[in-house]
Structure 1
């Protein structure tokens, strides 16, 4: 069965690639490849979707039809039967993705045909079908019923090259219900995410990852670290490690080389970057955004992973800096506390719902709200142990998930019980949103305004909805109301209170958000690691609660350099003491001899002797 997904009153996509891919390892095929890397050619094969004949017996062709696939029987609804307008949206979306990827991904071209294969019992394709000789990746697109699941599409890798292991064939299952009537950015992001799985971003492929100029797998690929009594798996391949050094600075996390943390939530585990750390990267296992949002992006997280597959030559020009939890967007510098500390303990201001009246998104690019969560998902932390309380997973690891001690949490493991804000409105280009205490569906756009930052990011101005210009400066008290006004909507009057965010965080975030792509390769150089602080005499300093600690030579508790210095000093002290002792002994002997001579002289010339 499919995993249970987030119960939301909001359109979301939860990826189930891991569940489907775990049913069967990809087959290997012997095909000829060119020696040079060239623009990738992806073939989205839509013939089984477009063909009116029932060549694919597992797709819905009529209402109330019965379809059994993935061990589940479905009764087809009218929404499960694809119509012409949805075919057009699907086709144009996949064409856009193909054109996008070929601009920055190169691969060794496939020059020979191979037979297409079925995948487990999920696919009904003729074994006589052949790949096209002018395509490098063949993706069979098939429509399937998904019932009430929020999953819009799912992809599995079917065949890979015998030597290089690059994917050759994949299948993309489409949930017809989730195809929009008109083209949407969110739907493009979902199908792009699924295409990245087809390209090899999958835990089933990790052991095949290798340098781009060699077919020998990387020496170290994944590592499990126990930090804060919580086990996390990290992708520690070369570019994943560089990403960690660039953002966080530490060479190691617990007993592992630092890298990109992988999600451990059931159903999306391992094949996706950890949601709480890399929210809004295109590869995270959950996509939560408005229909035409720019929230999700191909970031340096995706770039690192795609490069570390070794299957492709990937240019940085198709990627943007990640914004969420990026210290370069908050302070402008690497932050070691982001490396191992529990994210909920170090999230910056404005990131999550600390109260239900702060609606500005973490990137100040729109507004979000708690109301789009299903009310049943909000749980009081004091109810742990009760049937109506939070999950047992949360209650067993509450110190990890909720170190701050929030009294209410969002009871969903897929987001690690984090009280994130669901985006509901995105500001127009050039405008931003700052924290305010009021929000209405009818007036969300009124919370966005023009702004201007100083060159040193120490202050900015913001134009409120009533035309008032607000100035926010470094050192301002962020809990104080800086402006209030009343506004009527639908005959009801509301009071709006504005608060200043940290100017440096606001300005750095906005500047990074406005970057259309990386100007230079973010992984072109190796940044030096930040040394860990030495432990204090009482055993303090940097430590990992429940972790293995840093096992590198420079971090061991015994300092050999200090030991040598102390030994030299002791040798000098002993030598000096020895010299002094000899001098005292010599002086004593000399005094004794003089005393003997004086006694003898006194005896020889005393009056008694005459």
Structure 2
């Protein structure tokens, strides 16, 4: 993984300038955030010395000397779609977040020779966050984007300005939003802007209670379990999230303990480690250190985990209607709705549910995802005996440590070495998705020339469900109940060479119905104060921290066309390689 640790010349938080204050504000003092996404560098109203202006031009900046090519220039249609996507991001974030408003102007100053230049200085009034977007040639397809804060509120240290860089080679040709079928670029932008909002280790030490600028003490806690080192964010909302998810007040190794909290990524090197949610524990959350989403449909999501962190900053109150449950590891996805024992700190091969990971010795999972809503491809496994330790190869550095057989691979089985950000768990790379009301059972094909299909489902409480799968104008009806778990049903699916016989295997109806229902829902209230979200008691939603007794609503996702059948190849896997400043500012990048 490429590490980025150059010190960008952006304003730093000066501890001596912070005057700690407590202010009791009326709820009406918090208002929806007003964001100005400055597109002048895209439209040409503002110039950028490091922007490609002609084919063959050479530009020297932090990524070296780079030659501009035809794909670095946006035609009118591509530019218009980009502007619409950026506006969709603005609208979404303005609905999602409330802040204490900025009363005066925000002045954007010259940043640095390595980034962009405002000349003359420019001020904006009536906004709470200013985000210029700058197009940049990175010399390759990676990174996709970069973002970070550039200035802060003098009382609460909330970022009030930032910068977003977009890789011109990776800007899509269509418009993305929170509800379009293809939304990966929208999610990339949300990921990066979340860093600019303060979801980064360089700002952890400035997290504080609402309306009190005094930072929390002891925000993180380290613990070694099964010879693996864990770091948890234990701020109040993160702690509540963990208690509800894992069912425990503390994590313990028998000698030492930590308050339960949200695990922070330890892999990927400088910039990725420390500023993302741990991939193993938060698979499918868009703030993990590596993207697992292809462009064929929705998979990654903004979940209650990141919402908890945003609230822990002390700078944002969240409208939960615009977030979705993290289904991975969710106690509400299990039989009886109970926490998965040791899910947070236990060896995955011993504690994860059977349908989460493909087993080296074979199973019926196929390429079906854990949520029964996606399917994709597998990368080759490697035998444990093939690994020579110690190793300089970043994929093996953690594996070669003391946790090798205690945590990562206690069975000494063949393992997925390419997923080191996800602690080597053998999960699918989702490249296909099912729309609401449809799902896919275990047994999906991983091959790109076999075109699997989703089926419509209907749950009879948690006792049984039926699924209708239609291929070649013939519908196969599958009925699964508690007595036929694992039973195979057969039907033909299309392939490039004609057709292939597909076996679909029944899943326990309570696991299946709970999982797909969670996947298709948005919150309507604060789940951190709610015990059983799947009871689905619909009330009038209000933003946190106001207390409501609401649960979840079904999210009606619209899509434009059929599900893409292409299988994602390894070189399409996006790794988020971030650049963060320890001084209190950060720039984050998303790579492919």
The TM tier, using the shorter chain, reads: 0.7 to 0.9
Q: Are 2:76 and 1:84 aligned? A: yes
Aligned match of 1:56:
48
Deviations 1:315-334 (Å, cap 9, x if unpaired)? 22222211112122123122
Instruction: Give the distance between the partners of 2:304 and 2:436, measured in 1 at CA.
Output: 23
- 1:58 CA drift (Å): 1.4
- Residue pair 1:113, 1:132 contacting (<8 A) in 2 also: yes
Query: 2:443 corresponds to which residue?
Result: 436
Label 1:416 to 1:117 Cα distance change in 2 as closer, same or farther (>3 A).
farther
> What does residue 388 of structure 2 align with?
385
Between 297-306 and 400-409, report the one with greater CA deviation.
Answer: 400-409
1:260 aligns with 2:262: yes
Q: How do 1:25-174 and structure 2 match up within 5 A? A: 26-27=12-13, 36-51=29-44, 55-70=47-62, 72-126=64-118, 128-174=120-166
* Counterpart contact for 1:41–1:134, Cα < 8 Å: yes
Q: Work out which of the residue numbers 315, 319, 329 in structure 2 matches 1:311.
A: 315
Cα distance in 1 for partners of 2:245, 2:126 equals 40
Where does structure 2 lack aligned partners over 5 or more consecutive residues?
A: 177-182, 533-592
| TM-aligned CA distance change 1:475 to 1:339, over 3 Å | farther
- 1-structure distance, mates of 2:112, 2:409: 41
Residue 547 of structure 1 is matched in structure 2 by: none
Superposed CA deviations along residues 435-479 of structure 1, whole A, max 9, x for unmatched, are 1254554553x4311222221x1322222445222222225453x
CA offsets 1:112-150 (integer angstroms, 9 cap, x no match): 224323445431212632231111111121111223343
Shift, 1:21, TM fit? 7.5
1:536-568 C-alpha deviation (Å, 9 max, x unpaired): xxxxxxxxxxxxxxxxxxxxxxxxxxxxxxxxx
Contact 2:466 2:479 survives alignment (8 Å): yes
Give the superposed CA RMSD: 2.9
Q: Identify the range of structure 1 (458-467 vs 297-306) with the bigger mean alpha-carbon deviation.
A: 458-467
Q: Point out the more displaced range, 291-300 or 490-499.
A: 490-499
Q: If you compute each CA radius of gyration, which structure gives the higher value, 1 or 2?
A: 1
1:165-184 equivalent positions in 2, closer than 5 A:
165-184=157-176
CA spacing shift, 1:437–1:206, aligned 2, 3 Å: closer
Q: CA deviation at 1:226?
A: 1.3
Query: What is the DSSP-based 3-state SS (H/G/I as helix, E as strand, rest coil) of the residue aligned with 1:301?
Result: helix
- Between Structure 1 and Structure 2, the one with more helix by share is 1
2: CA distance, partners of 1:70 / 1:50: 24
Q: How many pairs were matched up?
A: 501
Q: 3-state SS of the aligned residue for 1:191?
A: helix
Instruction: Answer whether contact 1:21 1:204 (CA < 8 A) is retained.
Output: no
Which of these residues, 217, 222, 225, is aligned with residue 224 of structure 1?
Answer: 222
Match of 1:467 among 464, 472, 475: 475
Consecutive unaligned residues of structure 1, counting only runs of 5 or more, are: 5-15, 528-610
1:12-45: CA deviation from partner (whole Å, max 9, x where unpaired): xxxx8x85788766356999x9962111011111
Q: Secondary structure at the match of 2:325?
A: coil
Residue 364 of structure 1 aligns to a residue in which SS?
coil
Distance in 2 of aligned mates of 1:311 and 1:506: 38
- 1:150 alignment partner, SS class: coil
TM-score (norm 1): 0.76
The answer to which structure, 1 or 2, has the higher relative contact order (CA under 8 A, 6+ apart) is 2
Deviations 1:329-387 (A, max 9, x none): 123122342132123432212222325970211111122121xx5x6xx4332201188
